[in-house]
Structure 1
Amino acid sequence: MEEMDSIREFLRLEVGVCAECTNRFISWKGHLGSSSSCEATEAEDPEFPLTKKIRLDTAEEEKKNASTDSALCQSCLEVFSLESAVERISCAVSESGMEIDRYQVNLSIPTLVELRQLAVASQLQQRLGCSASKETKTIPYVPSAKKLLLPLLLQRLKGIFPAAAKAVSGPEARELDSVVSINVTWDHPDDAGVCKSLQRQLVKLKQKKKLAKDSDSWWGSADKELCPDKGRNQSLALIESGQVPIQDILAWPLPKSSQAVTCRVSVKRSAVYLAGRYVKLSRQLPQTPWLVGTVRKMEDSVEELIVNPVKSSVRFDSARFSSSGREDCDVRMLGTGRPFALEIRNLRSLADVEPRRCKELERAINESGADRVQVRDLCVVSREDVNSLHKGEGRAKNYVALCRLADGHSVERESLDKICDAQNLVLQQKTPLRVLHRRTNMVRERTIYTMSPEMVADLERPNSIFTLRLRTDAGTYIKEFVHGDLGRTQPNLCSMLGVPVDIVALDCSSVEMDWPPERGPPASPHIPRPQLHPIFREPQLHPIFRDPQLHPIFRDPQLHPPSATPQLHLIFRDPQLHPIFRDPSTSTHIPRLA
């Protein structure tokens, strides 16, 4: 007991350490006691029993502690004064308007604090007359202040957050789609100078070991073993091992500091991803804002027509639009639309993207987009799903091109029929002249899987206009395939027909990608999500679904097994009555959103 009093007197009076740090160093010495706050710490992190408190039994000791607590702690520099940190966190959360559900606390402590902790431990070691042997560290190992501080701070935050809020960390946080990150950073003006001194010493040690300057793992395996904490700074382990003398970093003995650390807090939510498909009905609409320098070429874009209605009703900082490929501003995107995703940054409330709200957002976008942009299948997806969206950009796409022969030329039906035989046609496409100013000049190999031409009746110029349906690789330049781009695309339609051909209009009829992905198991084991035709996914896409009384089987499609469907209604008995049922997998029917 006398030894404990001697150690406490040395730490509190001579070094100037606060009660929290005093108890930590005494616990390191091996004299373990108990305290309510420390019991909570061990409940949070049982790996570190060193945070147990020493009970101050006498009134004289309590009075002594009270008289010295007002002084600046020379070990933690007031990092362990949690009242100010908790107050700042509460104010930051309130000002941000963030609804706390699942949260993760990230701490950043100055390197200066960790170094001063090692210096105090070294002074205490000298005070006790301990000497390091070859089997032990030159400076005794003391747990990182960050790891000791986190459970204490989490315990305090339980009192200011809603009861339903839950603290998460590590793997659990990474598995969740969205987590609120509370970033607490302590700063000190002397930290930058200490870090530079430490860096110079590490460079000298690196040169001494004759290792590459750009090596990220220049310390040896023996040095790594000296670091018990996985997340602990490797340089601190080198100081503990004596390879970098602490006297070269800090003045010795430890100088008194008159300035405490300052605390700042930021509250952010990890990105939330909205996914869907958009249909572009206008030929005067780019996918993203079109700027030439600072001059805007077109008033709106697909991105803005989707993001702006969302921004008017959902609270967030910013949104990033991405999609599976893109089309030119004069090309329509029809069929079931092009897959897209919105990365919503710092969303204030997850309730704003619940399934019911997604339907409301979908209607708001469609009303705003009118006859230019429509969206469907809006829902929340994970980051992994968005990664799969970009990986799926190599999938096939279907196009419909309206082609016109040059004046004075015509083509016979037999010549067009020969195009149909050119399956899996491999193209060598140089970067088109129209985009050469912003893209690398290179040769791209693309494949046209199938082509199907169809002559269009024209009384003034017979046999000069035709439509061409193509199924191609994503990234194929269809316009350049038609007119040849002055020979930069080989082969091309002009060389195949032997006459000059130009393109009048182009539509992308479908993108072969199942997106957004299915979240969870299907509602019925009898009817998987891919059904007869995409129009079944949204009842508003076709008139026969608008009045459920017309076709009772559509009141709840999930309740009717496929085997019974063809027997219930005459429209299925004769496929010719309804062209959309002739070949549901390749139907060219273009639904319009209601």
Structure 2
Amino acid sequence: MADVTVNATLLGLLPAASFEKLHALKGLGVCIRCILRYAAISDHELYSLDTAVLNRTWDAFVAAHGGSAVPTGSAGVCTCCLDVFEGALGAAGRADLIAKSKDSGYATSTFMIAIQIPSATLIRQHALNHVVQITTVPIDLKEVLKWCLTPLLAAALNHAAYVATSDISIHLHFHHELSEQEAMQLPTIRDTIVQNKKRKLDIDAFGAVTRALQTALLHASNLPSTLTSPPTVAASPCTLTYTIERAPTYLAGRYLKFQRGLSQTPWVLEGERLGESSVEEAIGDIVLPHFQAKSYKFHTAGREDVDVRMLGNGRPFILELIDSKVASLASAAHYERIQAEVNLKNVDRVEIRQFQLTDKKGFTVLQAGADSKRKTYCCVVWVADKLTREHVARLNGISDLAVAQKTPVRVLHRRTLLTRSKVIHSAHVTVLNDHYMLLRLTTSAGTYVKEFIHGDLGRTLPNVSTLLGCDADILQLDVEDLLE
């Protein structure tokens, strides 16, 4: 757009009746983009023009109305926005935002923008309104930023669409060193801080300052005397921190664990790593690079002990990928290939099934699995007395046996001492020899099976030992299935 065209646009949009007040604002050090906000100009292209072009256009507008071409105080940091506009829309700031967005590497079709600006901009805006006696509310600063930045960032992100809610969010945080100091000029803010000395409060919170200003203006026709009016020219502009990130990506599946001694998650005791790997790492370390994620979290429907195998159809899990560059893969075949890779690299250790993309709703299913499903176990049990038909019949006859379990001694260091009611739905014995048997149990979720066998010093009642009238202990345990 040529300068002449810009001149014509501004001359047509800026009403002559507004000239004196707008010119006064410029004289108080307000930047040209803020003046356009005060003039209620909604032409997005004007705000997006280069700063030098805008200033030349303003000079032409002033000349047409017989005003001074170089108003006092107009060359420094904007007394209204503290150069928020220049930081984002000036040539250097705009180029930096575009470069960072292009280099971010995110594959996305949509994005959203979150903008945080210093609360001092709001205080200064009210002070300027008071000095120049402007009654109209200028267009919201953040709204103008979104108008101008949306097409720039969309192009930088390979023409992604701006939407209100997206898994890709761009955060623009403008900060100024004077903002907290100026917020303390408001009586409500100052009193709140004094009354809450022991609490760490966000003095620069935009919402708190907005409410404080509303309170101050509601009870007085003038600005509080504690506010600096007109606002002074800041020595330095605000700084801008740019971040772009993706909301977590969720992958679901079921895992089987064939190797005893492999923990579900990394096992760290008193700061020392125990075990070379874990189920979590066997899966997550292979999946991570496919999605170019920063890290991952492993969530499961319950857990088995480190010395217990997980068999049957496997245990449901969700792998939460943190800030992944890729949110989803092109087809189901891609997930099948990752599944095959995990299984090939973990033969006789870990296997995954039904690997697929999911969302947060998957956690509801996961929790339901941990809380409400019946579970089938197979254990190798030793008994002190010689096994008899009566022993076998007694155990095979179990049907919905109510069991009271105090928190086991082995987990008391990390779990609350409680008595939990559990149910042994059924049992089936396969005798191995006089003192050993395979015992298959179907129990309610959360049953401590090891303790049901040996009794845990009488903390689980009844138990296999009390049912048979002799000592009993468990040698091996497998989770065979999680039942609906």
TM interval, short-chain normalised: 0.7 to 0.9
Q: Distance between the aligned counterparts of 1:205 and 1:243, measured in 2?
A: 19
**Structure 1's 240 and 396: CA in aligned 2 closer, same or farther, altered over 3 A?**
farther
Name which of 142, 146, 163 aligns with 2:142: 146
Name which of 472, 486, 509 aligns with 2:480: 509
Q: How does 1:455-534 map onto structure 2 within 5 Å?
A: 455-456=431-432, 458=433, 462=434, 464-512=435-483
Name which of 166, 171, 184 aligns with 2:172: 184
Equivalent in the alignment of 1:17: 30
Higher share of residues assigned strand: 2
Q: Distance between the aligned counterparts of 2:193 and 2:175, measured in 1?
A: 28
Name which of 446, 450, 468 aligns with 2:422: 446
Q: Distance between the aligned counterparts of 1:487 and 1:398, measured in 2?
A: 23
Equivalent in the alignment of 1:368: 345
* Residue-by-residue CA offset, 1:290-333 (whole Å, 9 max, x unaligned): 11112222111111111111234441100001100100111000
1:37 counterpart = 2:45: yes
Q: Alpha-carbon deviation of 1:2?
A: 5.2
* Residue-by-residue CA offset, 1:7-34 (whole Å, 9 max, x unaligned): 1221111x1111221122233xxxxx67
User: Following TM superposition, where does structure 1 have runs of at least 4 consecutive aligned residues deviating by more than 6 angstroms?
Assistant: 54-57, 62-66, 205-208, 229-232
Q: Alpha-carbon deviation of 1:365?
A: 0.8
The normalised TM-score by structure 2 is 0.84
The letter for the 2-side match of 1:194 is E
Equivalent in the alignment of 2:211: 234
Q: Distance between the aligned counterparts of 1:249 and 1:321, measured in 2?
A: 53
Q: Which runs of 5+ in 1 are unaligned?
A: 28-32, 41-53, 131-139, 174-178, 217-228, 514-594
Corresponding residue SS for 1:189: coil
Corresponding residue SS for 1:118: helix
**Structure 1's 302 and 248: CA in aligned 2 closer, same or farther, altered over 3 A?**
farther
The letter for the 2-side match of 1:270 is A
Name which of 71, 80, 84 aligns with 1:79: 84
Q: Alpha-carbon deviation of 1:206?
A: 11
Q: Distance between the aligned counterparts of 1:12 and 1:328, measured in 2?
A: 71
Equivalent in the alignment of 2:238: 261
**Structure 1's 71 and 230: CA in aligned 2 closer, same or farther, altered over 3 A?**
closer
Asked if 1 retains the 8 angstrom alpha-carbon contact of 2:430 and 2:439, the reply is yes
Q: Alpha-carbon deviation of 1:381?
A: 0.3
**Structure 1's 39 and 142: CA in aligned 2 closer, same or farther, altered over 3 A?**
closer
Name which of 15, 19, 30 aligns with 1:5: 19
Equivalent in the alignment of 1:289: 266
CA RMSD between the two structures: 3.3
Q: How does 1:212-251 map onto structure 2 within 5 Å?
A: 233-242=210-219, 246-247=223-224, 250-251=227-228
Equivalent in the alignment of 1:402: 380
**Structure 1's 249 and 511: CA in aligned 2 closer, same or farther, altered over 3 A?**
farther
Name which of 149, 153, 162 aligns with 1:167: 162
1:124 counterpart = 2:132: yes
Q: Distance between the aligned counterparts of 2:250 and 2:414, measured in 1?
A: 29
Q: Distance between the aligned counterparts of 1:304 and 1:312, measured in 2?
A: 13
The structure with higher relative contact order (CA 8 Å, sep 6+) is: 2
Q: Alpha-carbon deviation of 1:35?
A: 4.0
Name which of 272, 292, 300 aligns with 1:315: 292
Equivalent in the alignment of 2:120: 112
Equivalent in the alignment of 2:4: none
The letter for the 2-side match of 1:97 is G
The letter for the 1-side match of 2:25 is L
**Structure 1's 202 and 77: CA in aligned 2 closer, same or farther, altered over 3 A?**
closer
Corresponding residue SS for 1:257: coil
* Residue-by-residue CA offset, 1:203-258 (whole Å, 9 max, x unaligned): 648999xxxx99x9xxxxxxxxxxxx999943343244346974355313322223
The letter for the 1-side match of 2:413 is H
Q: How does 1:349-368 map onto structure 2 within 5 Å?
A: 349-352=326-329, 354-368=331-345
**Percent of pairs with identical residues:** 29
1:157 counterpart = 2:153: yes
Equivalent in the alignment of 1:580: none
Q: Which runs of 5+ in 2 are unaligned?
A: 1-14, 49-56
Q: Distance between the aligned counterparts of 1:257 and 1:296, measured in 2?
A: 53
